[in-house]
Amino acid sequence: MEPMENYEELLNKAYTEVKEVTHSGERFKMIEVKIEITGNKTVICNFIQILSHIRRKSDELCKFLSKELATQCKTDGERLILNRKIPSQKVNEKINLYVTKFVICKECKKPDTKILKEGPVSFTHCLACGAKHALGKI
Ligand SMILES: [Zn+2]
C-alpha cells in the first residue's frame, strides 16, 4: 500500500489552493455601464449597481460626473439622469477615469479605498495595503 500523504502536506496543499482562488477573486473588474439616451437626456440605467460595485456614495460620483461632463445630474431610483445628450463612450470614459483616480489603489490595484479629507486636501486611503495618495482639492 502507498503511504498516505501526511496531514501537514494536505493542509499546505489546501491552503495554497484557497490562496490562489482568493487572489484571483480579488482582482477588480469594472462592470458594464448601461447608458440610454432619452430625448435630450442621458440616463445611466444601472447607477446604483455601479455605486455598490465601487463602494462609493451617490453624491461623490454625481458631483464628479456633473463637473466633468458639464451638466446637472440627479438620481432617479436606480438611475442617474444627466441633463443633456452625451455619447455613451464619453460617459464610460469619465466613469473609468473616476474609478482609476478615486477608487483603485495605485499601490496594490485593489478597490478597497476610502476618501479621507485633511483640511482642504483629499486622499485615497487603501484599506488593503494602507497606502495614501493625495488627490488635491476635490
Ligand atoms: Zn492598496
Assess whether pLDDT exceeds 50 at residue 8. yes
Q: Which three cell numbers stand for residue 137?
A: 482639492
Query: Whole-model pTM?
Result: 0.76
State how far the alpha carbon of 22 is from the alpha carbons of 10, 16, 26, 27, 47, in Å. Answer: 18, 10, 6, 9, 27
How remote is the CA of residue 6 from the centroid of ligand 1, in Å? Answer: 37
What is the 129 CA–ligand 1 centroid distance (Å)?
Answer: 4
Taking residues 2-12, report their average pLDDT: 68
C-alpha 131 to ligand 1 mean position (Å)? 5
Q: For the domain made up of 31-103, give the CATH fold.
A: Alpha-Beta Plaits (3.30.70)
Q: Is the pLDDT at 132 greater than 90, yes or no?
A: yes
Are 89 and 67 in contact by the 8 Å Cβ rule? The answer is no
What are the domain boundaries of the chain?
A: 31-103, 105-138
Of 25-29, 33-37, 60-64, 115-119, the poorest mean pLDDT is in 25-29
* Tens-digit pLDDT profile for residues 42-64: 999 999 999 999 999 999 999 99
